[in-house]
Amino acid sequence: MTTASASEQFVVTATEFLRNRLAREDNVCVTSSFQAEDMVVVHMVRAILPRVPVLFLETGYHFPETITYRNQAVADWNLNLIVVNPERTVAEQEAEFGILNQTAPDRCCALRKVEPLFRSLAPYSVWLTGLRREQSKSRANLQVEDAFTLPTGQTLAKLSPLAEWKTSDVFSYAEANAIPLLPLYEQGYTSIGCAPCTSLPFDPDDPRSGRWSGRKLECGIHLQAT
């Protein structure tokens, strides 16, 4: 099987999975950091659920390019964007705790990403992500569908339709569907999060090696699946 035919099969499989799985659901959301994978998932899901809620974590530390790109995507695609904010502003958090992204990145992620997202997922029964196994060794066993239990005890169906996709598949889909991508990719970034915790990858074989200066692999959102 050639790379092109493999990509085509991945698209067919993901599309069929989503159409079959979402046909019986109405409390569905997609989380998006507006990276390439998330744009692909949003594009696929909108073909089925045009007004699907798209949850974006506003950490206050994003690259300006990310916010500009997000705003353009929302306008171009008429996205049903839901901005999820932490309890504290950046100024309030830094006044109370100091610059946690430098001293305690796990705590910073918990306050600005994990806790706000888990609260915002409460109204939904299905949560869609752009996660892929290839992204990190911490995601090597990622399933296309899994159960995810929130701290409240509520369980959601967590769907990762691109679990098997390679990076080349993602970019091929974006090109085929005329999806412009975050300009930071052109600068060499391969995994893009908050600006203070994102650098160019130092390991060409590890796309997430530029995150948190290699001190950790995950923010914590995707570590509590049952």
Q: Chunked in runs of 10, what are the mean pLDDT values of the chain (226 residues)?
A: 63 94 91 97 97 97 98 98 97 97 93 96 96 77 92 96 94 96 95 92 79 66 54
The pLDDT score that the predictor gives to residue 226 is 34
**Alpha-helix runs per DSSP H in 78-206:** 90-97, 100-103, 105-109, 115-120, 167-176
**pTM surpassing 0.95?**
no
The Cα–Cα gap between 131 and 115 comes to 19
> What does the DSSP 8-state code read for residue 20?
H
Instruction: Reduce the DSSP state of residue 225 to 3 states and report it.
Output: strand
The pLDDT score that the predictor gives to residue 197 is 92
User: What is the number of domains present in the chain?
Assistant: 1
Structure token pair of residue 208: 């997430």
The pLDDT score that the predictor gives to residue 210 is 73
**Percent helix, percent strand, percent coil in the chain, to nearest 5:** 45, 15, 40
**Angle formed by the axes of helices 3-22 and 167-176, nearest 10°:** 80
In this structure, are residues 93 and 112 in contact, taking their beta carbons and an 8 Å threshold?
yes
CATH at 141: 3.40.50.620
The Cα–Cα gap between 63 and 11 comes to 30
The pLDDT score that the predictor gives to residue 223 is 60
Q: Which residues are catalytic?
A: 219
Residue among 208, 198, 200, 190 at smallest CA distance from 136: 208
Structural domain boundaries enclosing 24: 3-223
Beta pairing class for 145-149 and 155-159 = antiparallel
